[in-house]
């Protein structure tokens, strides 16, 4: 037996010559059976890699400085001062609105108190307090007030139909005058 030289045995394939001629056939069979699927998978993997790399680049850009890096102290102080000034301004506006609201509530309470007193006095005198209340409301509406809403007087409206209109009577109607048919022996049946 010779080692390294000589012809291969019957059970040993010739790697240099015989095994290579089977490779193109196997690749061709694989591509003909699954070629489109392999192509689509390659395109999908390519697009996925592009998307992941873009998002990683965007994250690196959007992230300010790494946590270990020192930030400029002047910029931090300016930012904090601007934030504190904005908060103070908003708080002042809120306080002013609260004061206005409290003042309006006090005025409303005072008006209600006055109305109750007027109602009580009119009841003590034996007058109708509701009529007195309406007069007081008209007086307050005619005096200059802080609200811009002025009630408009309602114009006298005439009714759409005459006073004697009754839809169940069948009179005074317009074009619709339906009457049931006569009952009798000639009705058929």
In tens, the pLDDT along 34-67 reads 989 999 999 999 999 999 999 999 988 887 655 5
Q: How far is CA 115 from CA 68, 102, 130, 138, in A?
A: 70, 20, 11, 12
What pTM, to 2 d.p., does this model score? Answer: 0.31
Q: Which residues of the chain have pLDDT under 70?
A: 1-18, 64-71, 129-151, 153, 159, 161-163, 165, 170-178, 186-189
What pLDDT was estimated at residue 170? 63
What pLDDT was estimated at residue 129? 60
What pLDDT was estimated at residue 116? 93
If you write DSSP's letter for every residue of 133-181 in order, what string do you get?
Answer: HHHHHHHHHHS--S----PPPPPPPPPSS-TT--TTT--S--S----PP
What sign for the dihedral angle of Cα 57, 59, 64, 66? Answer: negative
Q: For residues 43 and 49, give the distance between their C-alpha atoms in angstroms, rounded to a whole number.
A: 10
What pLDDT was estimated at residue 89? 97
pLDDT digit string, tens, across residues 155-170: 777 767 666 767 777 6
Q: For residues 167 and 107, give the distance between their C-alpha atoms in angstroms, rounded to a whole number.
A: 51
What distance, in Å, lies between the first and last C-alpha atoms of the chain? 123
What pLDDT was estimated at residue 1? 46
């Amino acid at each position: 037996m010779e080692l390294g030289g000589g012809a291969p045995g019957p059970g040993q394939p010739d790697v240099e010559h015989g095994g290579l001629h089977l490779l193109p056939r196997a690749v061709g069979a694989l591509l003909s059976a699954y070629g489109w699927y392999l192509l689509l998978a390659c395109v999908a993997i390519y697009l996925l890699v592009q998307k992941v790399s873009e998002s990683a680049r965007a994250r690196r850009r959007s992230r300010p400085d790494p946590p270990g890096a020192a930030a400029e102290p002047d910029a931090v102080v300016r930012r904090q001062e601007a934030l504190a000034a904005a908060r103070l301004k908003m708080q002042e506006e809120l306080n002013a609105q609260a004061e206005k609201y409290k003042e309006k509530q006090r005025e409303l309470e005072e008006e209600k108190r006055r109305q109750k007193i007027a109602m009580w006095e009119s009841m003590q005198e034996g007058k109708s307090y509701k009529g007195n209340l309406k007069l007081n409301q008209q007086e307050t509406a005619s005096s200059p007030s802080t609200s811009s809403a002025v009630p408009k007087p309602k114009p006298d409206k005439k009714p759409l139909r005459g006073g004697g209109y009754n839809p169940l009577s069948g009179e005074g109607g317009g074009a619709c005058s339906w009457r049931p048919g006569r009952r009798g022996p000639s009705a058929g049946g």
